[in-house]
DNA sequence: CGGTTTCTTGAACGAGGTCAAGTTGTGTGG
DNA sequence: CCACACAACTTGACCTCGTTCAAGAAACCG
């Protein structure tokens, strides 16, 4: 027990640092009730955290950088389900296997939490159950919003929503630094890389944004971007 | 630490009971452990169970019939998030309000389970936490699948997936009775009613399905339908 | 530097949307 | 039982938005 306390404490410090501006609770999971934190892991861009079909032995919290979860279609195309930034948690499964792949978008550090079954976990500690529940609900809300976005919106509506989503997560003001490529954005929004590029260029011509470089986007007219999705 | 956060976030773990048999038990929630089952409610087609923005005082289990959850866009169009059939649970929220509307597709009966305040952790049934968790995870998985479907698939792939999804839920064999209109299907798949109709007609011409009436679909060639999504 | 990857832009094409007309099905009242 | 009205569905013709194909510009890096 003293062993696990030591592990927990060192990990807590590491995680805490990366959680300073997370939009949700910043405490980590206690080292009990079916969750055991492993050492933090580092991944380089495009490196795989786990693949679709891998045994789901853990879920993960992002300490720094950005991770994407995605699925590959038989024709080689890719659909990105979600991006996870600092402080966010991904990789929950009820089944034995991961249903999606997870890959690093940028250089990033994640902490794995080995599971011993959610039933054990939920039954043993209120705080863990509540935390985990809240993370899953967050995922659910985002997934539902994503479905709505993909269903009935034009390319420019999708891109406006994407930019506003990214801006909301990094409350750094009106300039956002995109961690992902145009291809990532396209695969997230169900568009092609060309349409993403063209639409962003059009936004700049319309005075909605400023592209100081391909990845650095200034949101010049937040109101205008919001109005696109009415 | 953040006990209060955990308590706040675990409202729903406190608000459930008696879902003994995963994944979709048909027994009702016992009236204990923070859940109060109301009298079952009847709704006629297109009637509203709750609207987007309504206070989320309860979640619901479908006893019979089919319910849809959806969102309306400013231009009057509609995106359907999910269909819920017998034994399925919908309407969880972590926030104060419902983020989507819920409406009856067919004549249906649902049972509401009222949420209590934040102070009901006492008297909680541990065994039950995993059950609610499993319902929410089920919603999450379906929402993720829905996103993948909407993102990068053609009209015929969407419709093939839709038919197979409906068939999987009503294990009645190779003939399914659709509860929903073409408009519902279109709004679920992000297509127009005309494209849905045209595509189904084409499926019939190709010998994939048999349309004995508009709502009654025989899945003649399951293999062929599956191959559409490779 | 030169090679590679990422991003942008243009031109032509096509899947699905839009508009419009016609058909089927269903409930109602005579 | 039929006639009518109305909603749901189907089908056709045309058009648009986003894709595809192709080429070039810009950023990145050994």
DSSP state of A161: H
Q: Give pLDDT, residue B55.
A: 96
d(CA B153, CA B155): 7
Residue A61, SS3 per DSSP: strand
pLDDT mean over B134-146:
95
Q: Give pLDDT, residue B210.
A: 97
Q: Give pLDDT, residue B22.
A: 30
Give B185 to chain A, closest Cα distance, Å. Answer: 12
Nucleotide nearest to A181 (CA to C1'): C6
- Residues in chain A with CB shorter than 8 Å from the CB of B144 are 81, 99-100, 143
Q: Which residue has the higher pLDDT, B142 or B5?
A: B142
Q: Give pLDDT, residue A128.
A: 72
- CA dihedral (A144, A147, A151, A157) positive or negative: positive
Nearest to B82 by CA among B97, B60, B67: B67
pLDDT mean over B182-205:
98
pLDDT band at B121 (very low <50, low <70, confident <90, very high): very low
pLDDT 10s digit of each residue in chain A, 230 long? 333 322 222 333 233 333 223 333 334 555 444 567 779 999 999 999 999 999 999 999 999 999 999 999 999 999 999 999 999 999 999 999 999 999 999 999 999 999 865 545 554 566 677 788 899 999 999 999 999 999 999 999 999 999 999 999 987 788 999 999 999 999 999 999 999 999 999 999 999 999 999 999 999 999 999 999 98
The helix (run of H) or strand (run of E) holding residue A185 is helix A182-189
d(CA B147, CA B212): 31
- Identify the residue among B121, B151, B183 best suited for mutation to test binding to A, counting A beta carbons within 10 A and taking the highest: B151
- Of chain B, the percentage scoring pLDDT greater than 90 comes to 70
Cβ atoms of A219 and A161 within 8 Å: the answer is: no
Average pLDDT, chain B: 83
- Residues in chain A with CB shorter than 8 Å from the CB of B119 are none
Lowest-confidence pick of A119-128, B4-13, B67-76, B140-149:
B4-13
Closest residue to C5 (CA, C1′): A181
This prediction has a pTM of 0.86
Residue B37, SS3 per DSSP: strand
Q: Is the CB of A170 under 7 A from strand D?
A: no
Q: Give pLDDT, residue B125.
A: 58
Q: Which residues of B74-103 are buried (b: 16+ CB within 10 A; e: fewer)?
A: eeeebbbbbbbbbebbbbbbbeeebbbbbb
Q: Count interface pairs A-B at CB distance under 8 A.
A: 140
Per residue in B7-47, pLDDT (tens digit) is 333 333 333 333 322 333 334 444 444 556 779 999 999 99
d(CA B171, CA B51): 31
d(CA B67, CA B88): 10
Give A123 to chain B, closest Cα distance, Å. Answer: 5
Q: Give pLDDT, residue A34.
A: 55
**Which DSSP string do the residues of A66-113 spell out, in sequence order?**
-EEEEEE-TTS-EEEEEEE-TT-EE---SSSB-SSEEEESSSEEEEEE
d(CA B103, CA B99): 13
């Amino acid at each position: 027990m003293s062993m696990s306390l030591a592990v927990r404490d060192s990990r807590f410090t590491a995680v805490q640092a990366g959680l300073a501006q997370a939009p949700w609770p910043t405490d980590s999971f206690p080292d009990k009730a079916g969750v055991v934190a492993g050492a933090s892991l580092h991944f380089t861009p495009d490196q795989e955290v786990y693949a679709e079909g891998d045994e789901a032995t853990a879920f993960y919290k992002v300490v720094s950088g950005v991770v994407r979860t995605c699925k590959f279609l038989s024709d080689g195309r890719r659909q990105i389900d979600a991006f996870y930034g600092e402080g966010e948690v991904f990789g929950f499964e009820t089944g034995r296997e991961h249903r999606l792949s997870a890959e690093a978008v940028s250089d990033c550090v994640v902490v794995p939490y080995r599971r011993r079954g959610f039933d054990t976990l939920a039954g043993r500690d209120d705080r863990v159950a509540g935390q985990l529940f809240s993370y899953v609900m967050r995922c659910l809300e985002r997934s539902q919003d994503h479905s709505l976005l993909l269903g009935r919106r034009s390319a420019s509506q999708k891109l406006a929503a994407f930019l506003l989503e990214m801006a909301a997560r990094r409350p750094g003001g009106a300039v956002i630094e995109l961690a992902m490529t145009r291809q990532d954005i396209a695969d997230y929004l169900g568009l092609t890389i060309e349409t993403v590029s063209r639409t962003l260029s059009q936004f700049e011509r319309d005075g909605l944004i400023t592209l100081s470089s391909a990845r650095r986007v200034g949101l010049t007219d937040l109101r205008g971007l919001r109005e696109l999705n009415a």
